[in-house]
Amino acid sequence: MPLLSVPKEVAVGTAMLGIAFATGVLAGKRYPSLVFGTPKSHKSLIAKNSPLWQYILDHSLREHPILKKLRLLTLEHPWGRMMVSCDEAQLMANLVKLIKAKKVIEIGVFTGYNALNMALVLPDNGRVIACDINEDYAKIGKPLWKEAGVEHKIDLRIKPAIQTLDELLASGEAETFDFAFIDADKESYNEYYEKCLRLIRKGGIIAIDNVLFGGNVLKPRKDDLAVQSIHRLNEKLLRDSRISISMLPMADGVTLAFKL
């Protein structure tokens, strides 16, 4: 039995996404370039309905059953494809374990797949500071955080992430975090990166998602602020002497920045 029944999920997700996108509204809110720009602009480098993707999952994915439950539940949501890719989430969990992280930040929680993913590998006194502006999404995942017994490790903060990061800095938490995942509004990526860099300790890691933005970074359109922002950050990170980096062609591209 494959771990992911790709065709059905993709078909349902895509159809619902189309409807939600056509109307441009969800729960009374518009989602313009909030995360992707257009549905086409956000793809995995390996197609999610391809045999190769299935092979990768069949030969590497070790997903906690409740994490799988949340992934399948999230895929039923009209914006399900905002969810982090499960192979990428597993890499982050492995990094979190490797560096023995205790305090992590997630910028852009959605239904909380990756928040749960990281909480599952943190020690019992570990914390995920989970930043989002939309509580309705997190309400989908919360019961599963509880079912997995890690709800106490996820500190959900519903307000603009910049505000949460500023509060953490103001309360003297600079250099006390081990890991951060940046995955919210792309236009603010540079600010998220700069604030996370202050919050992370030396040897800590910042993972930045969607750095290839469906390939659009090759020719960033002037009117696409999300791609412009990501492209500018990619150029800056290459020359940033405060970090060493790896840009991985995984999912929609993820850069790992290791604080020196």
| Contact flag: residue 209 with Ca ion (CB under 5 A) | yes
Residues 177 and 259 sit within 8 Å (Cβ to Cβ): no
C-alpha dihedral over 173, 175, 181, 184, to 10 degrees? 50
- Among 85, 114, 164, 210, which residue sits at the site for Ca ion (rule: CB under 5 A)? 210
Q: Look at residue 114 and give the partner it binds from Ca ion, ligand SAM, none, a contact being a CB closer than 5 to 8 Å depending on partner kind.
A: ligand SAM
SS (H, E, C) 35-86: CCCCHHHCCCCCCCCCHHHHHHHHHHCCCCHHHHHHHHHHHCCCCHHHCCCH
| Contact flag: residue 185 with Ca ion (CB under 5 A) | no
Residue closer to ligand SAM, measured from CB, 40 or 242:
40
Q: How far is the CB of 133 from ligand SAM (least distance, A)?
A: 4
From residue 136 to residue 175, the character string flagging contacts with Ca ion as x (rule: CB under 5 A) and all else as - is ----------------------------------------
Residues 6+ apart with CB under 8 A from 163: none
Q: How far is the CB of 209 from ligand SAM (least distance, A)?
A: 7
The Cα 72–Cα 5 span in angstroms is 9
Residue closer to ligand SAM, measured from CB, 80 or 220:
80
| Contact flag: residue 183 with Ca ion (CB under 5 A) | yes
Which residues contact ligand SAM by CB under 6 A? 34-35, 82-84, 108-110, 113-114, 131-134, 137, 160-161, 183-185
Q: How is residue 64 written in tokens? A: 């906690």
The Cα 120–Cα 200 span in angstroms is 20
Interacting residues with Ca ion (CB under 5 A): 183, 209-210
